[in-house]
């Protein structure tokens, strides 16, 4: 009997080179320079002018005399760690950049962002060395109890090359799974910045576009939505879409009756409620229907859900905002997973909506 073949299995070389470069660039919140430069460089190579503001938001603009003005924004920063202290065993104590689960850190490879970067690992006491009646091994560790080991022999040696405050990221990588799915740390929200860039590239060639379009790769989302607020105040668009990831509720440990029914492979999701203005929601729904784009909907009744649209809509006296999301599994871990078809649907949706304005 022949083995069944898995559909649409990509290889790393078949993934967009731009997306691959974005995923391999280091850039935790507050230290986004490398990833932001990658994003700007790619658009400049496509003939689309870009600029960076004071704190590093990257902004691309097309059809500058068009109306209305529209901002498509996604954040380029990722979660990470920071060197807090070096202990007497020449191991690095860390603080978190953004929200992290200590359990997801154990056994991971990391890069300490020195020049050149240092490869490190986050280890834990072996199970062999636990007493039979000791339950410490089942205890969830505190972040301050974890250590990064870069192989240093002494505290003094390490202090010379790793200053306090140095950022640390998961080992950058991109792996291809079955069914057009990819796995990488930082898909939240590098996939959104890729979608925004691909959308503005297509819109730059459109003969239907009447609006002025800003594409923004914002900074410091994971530590407070700061870049989105700055960009909104600076650009003051008439309309805006925040483009982010959302939780895919399609693994056995998540209850749909509690968390909703967003899944991988069923298209991009749009937010309903909260910061998503009804006018924008209707426009996205009509654009999806007219262009035959399959979308999912997510109930987002709160305006404090941690999405960048939550920062955008309350600036400048109120910007009409909406939320477009790519479903993602295992958020804020080194093994985030998305299905590329959903990201492509998000691009199609943004292009159709902008062309219809």
pLDDT in tens, 50-106: 999 999 999 999 999 999 999 999 999 999 999 999 999 999 999 999 999 999 999
Out of 180-194, 255-269, 298-312, least confident range: 298-312
pLDDT in tens, 119-166: 999 998 777 766 666 555 567 889 999 999 999 999 999 999 999 999
**7 inside domain:** no
d(CA 243, CA 307): 8
Q: Which residues contact 313 (CB under 8 A, 6 or more apart)?
A: 240, 275, 277, 303, 319, 320, 321
CATH code of the domain in which 280 resides: 3.40.630.10
Nearest to 148 by CA among 101, 100, 110: 110
pLDDT at residue number 1:
39
Q: Is 298 a catalytic residue?
A: no
Tally of structural domains, the chain: 2
Residue in 32, 96, 198, 221 annotated catalytic: 221
Round to the nearest angstrom and report the end-to-end CA distance of the chain. Answer: 55
pLDDT in tens, 9-21: 666 667 899 999 9
Q: Are residues 137 and 274 in the same domain?
A: no
| Mean per-residue pLDDT, 188-197 | 97
| Mean per-residue pLDDT, 103-117 | 96
Residue 159, number of CB atoms within 10 A of its CB: 13
Residue where a domain stops, chosen among 170, 193, 212: 170
**2 inside domain:** no
Helix (H, G, I), strand (E, B) or coil at 33: helix
Q: Are residues 283 and 343 in the same domain?
A: yes
Helix (H, G, I), strand (E, B) or coil at 234: helix
B/e letters for 117-138, b = 16+ CB within 10 Å, e = fewer, are bbebebeeeeeeeeeeeeeeee
pLDDT in tens, 258-298: 888 999 999 999 999 999 999 999 999 999 999 999 999 99
Where in the sequence is the domain holding 344, given as residue range(s)?
12-78+173-355
pLDDT tier at 8 (50, 70, 90 boundaries)?
low
């Amino acid at each position: 009997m022949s083995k069944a073949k898995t559909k649409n299995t990509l290889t790393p070389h078949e993934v967009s080179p731009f997306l691959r470069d974005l995923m391999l660039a280091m850039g935790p919140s507050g230290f986004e320079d490398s990833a932001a430069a990658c994003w700007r460089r790619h658009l400049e190579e496509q003939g689309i002018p870009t600029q960076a503001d004071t704190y590093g938001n990257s902004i691309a603009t097309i059809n500058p005399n068009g109306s209305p003005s529209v901002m498509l924004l996604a954040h380029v920063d990722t979660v990470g760690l920071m060197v807090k202290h070096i202990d007497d065993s020449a191991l690095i104590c860390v603080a978190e950049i953004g929200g992290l689960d200590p359990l997801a850190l154990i056994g991971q490879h990391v890069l300490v962002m020195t020049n050149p970067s240092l490869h490190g690992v986050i280890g834990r006491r072996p199970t062999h060395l636990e007493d039979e009646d000791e339950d410490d091994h089942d205890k969830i560790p505190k972040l301050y109890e974890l250590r990064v080991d870069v192989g240093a022999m002494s505290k003094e040696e390490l202090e010379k090359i790793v200053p306090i405050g140095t950022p640390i990221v998961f080992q950058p990588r991109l792996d291809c799974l079955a069914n057009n799915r990819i796995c990488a740390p930082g898909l939240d929200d590098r996939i959104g910045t890729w979608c925004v860039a691909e959308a503005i590239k297509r819109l730059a060639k459109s003969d239907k576009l009447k609006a002025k379009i800003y594409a923004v790769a914002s900074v410091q989302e994971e530590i407070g939505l700061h870049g989105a607020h700055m960009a909104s105040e600076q650009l003051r668009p008439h309309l805006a879409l925040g483009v982010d990831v959302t939780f895919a509720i399609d693994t056995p440990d998540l209850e749909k009756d509690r968390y909703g029914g967003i899944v991988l492979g069923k298209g991009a999701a749009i937010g309903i409620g909260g910061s998503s203005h009804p006018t924008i929601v209707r426009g996205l729904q009509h654009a999806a229907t007219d262009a035959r784009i399959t979308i999912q909907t997510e109930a987002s009744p709160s305006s404090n859900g941690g999405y960048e649209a939550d920062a955008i809509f309350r600036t400048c006296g109120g910007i009409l905002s909406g939320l477009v999301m790519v479903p993602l599994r295992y958020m804020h871990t080194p093994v985030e997973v998305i299905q590329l078809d959903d990201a492509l649907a998000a691009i199609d949706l943004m292009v159709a909506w902008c062309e219809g304005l």
